[in-house]
A and B are shown apart, each in its own frame.
Chain A
């Protein structure tokens, strides 16, 4: 463990980057998932086609490729743009944090799209009719009846998506974001103890996965409290 002396704080800051990345990407994932499922369920053919293309591409190609494309692709575009103003500029990149969270959110969002779509379809139509019959508007029905009912159905698979999300954050080290895996690589340069240091990264991720799993379990318990037989 003396290998780690002097690196604890780096791992702490690296973990913090992972947490930030996770939450930013999580919010975007929910957003993409909702938009994607709405587009898949809409009667608009163009929206259907775009959403289908989205899920096919992002579920069918390697995560690392999407990430590399986003990072280097955006860097090319930004550099070209910068050179218009200042021909001496050599390289401008989109911050790895944002390129990473966007790429990960688009990937996990494509899975969330399918989950949300299924969950929306699973909501009992009788509940929606009851809300309409009580005079609730479309929007009110959506917010107070459809979303709460759909959320309960989506929670277990969405928990798995969150686990995929936290694990995908490790990939962002490849484009140079200073998260835990990146910290380990630097520490290895000094200590030559790769096994120990990568094991630490693994342990950190296992901790995050455990926290997410437990949180999802609690949420499911709360969400299904109406199903417990009342005393």
Chain B
């Protein structure tokens, strides 16, 4: 197989035009999804059944179905409902970009909330007991003891989830958005050169993955300074 080098050099700048959109999808959904995850987490550990049960059902449904189906339900499905078309959210849900953000945030929120829960469960009981013995209230214990330790414990899994989310942004191309994958698919449809275009794009995504992992590696290192200073 001979690679068309000119085509590769030609298509990479074109695909990078979609980088902005890919990054917007990633960062917006990550911020919204993480906020949602915190709400879900607090509902789950609230100890109140009326709050915990809906959160569990939500997580179960969003983790149990493909993200592509979720995107299709939101983008193609919701406009079928008059309720949605007349709601204040319609300006967002009318646009493919809004739908992609909504779908990715809802999806990643479910996963991240489970990651955070793992972190909270991983906090040593003894520390919480020590905090209560010092007279800290339940809220104070959570904010000053449990949360900081849980964040540190969840960080490796969270960074994996950011990579997963970055990969999921490529699915926005299925609802007409021209992110990097969307542009690549257009180029392939015109040139019929899947190897050159898709392989180059894979390299671009690998660089993004690497950058995400490096950043989290750096954050983890900073956050575990207390461990090293003991040595």
Contacts and interface: CB of A to CB of B under 8 A. Distances in A.
Give yes or no for direct A-B contact (beta carbon below 8 Å): yes
A194 B72 contact: yes
B198 A202 contact: no
Contact of A65 (B61, B66, B78, B170): B170
Interface residues of B, number: 43
Contact of A73 (B61, B65, B198): B198
Nearest to A62: B170
B63 interface: yes
Interface of A: 56-57, 59-66, 68-69, 72-73, 75-77, 163, 167-171, 173-174, 181, 184, 188, 192-199, 201-202, 205-206, 209-210, 213
Contact of B66 (A57, A68, A170): A170
Nearest to A111: B160
B54 interface: no
Interface of B: 1, 61, 63-70, 72-73, 76-81, 163, 166-171, 173-174, 181, 184-185, 188, 192-195, 198-199, 201-202, 205-206, 209-210
A41 to B, nearest CB: 22
A198 B171 contact: no
A202 B50 CA distance: 25
A41 B70 CA distance: 39
Given A68-B198, A198-B72, A201-B69, A62 B1 contact: no
Given A60-B209, A198-B72, A77 B1 contact: yes
Nearest to A60: B209
18 contacts: A61-B202, A62-B167, A62-B171, A64-B181, A65-B170, A69-B194, A73-B194, A75-B194, A171-B68, A174-B174, A181-B66, A181-B68, A198-B72, A202-B65, A202-B69, A206-B61, A206-B65, A209-B64
A173 B72 CA distance: 12
Given A170-B68, A198-B73, A206-B64, A61 B194 contact: no
The 7 lowest CB-CB distance pairs between A and B, nearest first, are: A62-B170, A195-B77, A209-B64, A60-B209, A170-B66, A72-B194, A195-B80
B122 to A, nearest CB: 15
B197 to A, nearest CB: 9
A132 B144 CA distance: 52
B65 A195 contact: no
B37 to A, nearest CB: 18
Given A63-B167, A65-B170, 12 more contacts: A62-B167, A65-B205, A69-B194, A72-B194, A73-B194, A181-B69, A194-B77, A194-B79, A195-B80, A201-B69, A202-B61, A206-B61
Nearest to A206: B64
Contact of A60 (B81, B181, B205): B205
A68 B205 CA distance: 15
A56 B208 CA distance: 12
B90 to A, nearest CB: 15
Most buried by B among A72, A169, A198, A213: A198
A193 B73 CA distance: 11
Most buried by A among B64, B173, B192, B195: B64
B67 to A, nearest CB: 7
Given A65-B181, A199-B77, A72 B69 contact: no
Contacts of B206: 56-57, 60-61
Contacts of B79: 194
Contact of B202 (A57, A169, A198): A57
Contacts of A169: 66
Most buried by B among A66, A75, A167: A167
A65 B174 contact: no
A212 B166 CA distance: 26
B195 A69 contact: yes
A230 B167 CA distance: 47
Most buried by A among B61, B163, B167, B199: B167
